[in-house]
Structure 1
């Protein structure tokens, strides 16, 4: 029976390899189109707000998806993540399609590791090992959402077969996603209020950091 499935397994491997090869290339083209917009926006705002110092334009972290560290670490962690999914006790999630989105997990880590491959790999290893449990925990909710969408749209892409549960490693493995979901779903208004307070606190810290940076630039 396993021999009969070898063509399917090989075909799936080829498709996954093609997806992981094409995603960085397509994203790089997307980035090339965004950069002129970013530069033009920066110039426009600089003219309108001449007193602004050290002005930064916030854009998608996908802009650094083509960074060598992102590509190398993502490719190294793909087999490691599959191994972790098999050996970790209590984990019930086996990533497949999510592996293609592995490239989007690491851009936010690069400023901390300064592009160091070893440090990025270690952080990625720890985060994904914990993240597999987050995905396992959120799988029932993810599956229910997919079933609701399929009922209304009949889109085969979200049709999870009976007896299985779905998840997304590149989204649900984030501790932020897990915490935000449970604060709003499990604790309702209390959790939502906590999120608002945390957001306001971070806004104040960010504002102080910006003001301090602008003063440093002026001096």
Structure 2
């Protein structure tokens, strides 16, 4: 998939990007796509150069999780990681049915689940409010407190205000050496990977899908 991303961005920017990205960074990343675009625009005297989000714009049209993942609890992680670098939350909130930009962390989790067929199969809910996702997992009895050591594919809920109400949600990438690694949509209006200590104060609870 990393090679596919490199090829896609190279198609948009031209072959010079591929050689430059491999030589300087070892491959594609969203940040180096932005760097290359800025460099080329300045060099050519243009206002902009290419589409820095071309990779996510193309991959959103593919049923990526169903076609190219290893399945099980890692499929949703693979899908989510393929979207890292997306800014603004398209197509997640529009896929959900909103006509304008909204807080899209839950939409991102739901979109990732849908790409794997998990909504149709009832493994994960389609939800746009974190509290709705919480209610679904509670009703199913698939709910763990913040001291739980999660595994790949678990759904992590956050309480930034410390008031006992969840306001943000993401997907657990892995848990190693007391650290939880996540993929989150709408983290500063961007899809990003982040990390937290197990049992950290910002963590609210976990939803535990039965893959």
- Structure 1 length-normalised TM: 0.21
The structure with the larger Rg is 1
Give 1 or 2: higher strand fraction.
2
- Structure 2 length-normalised TM: 0.21
Give 1 or 2: higher helix fraction.
1
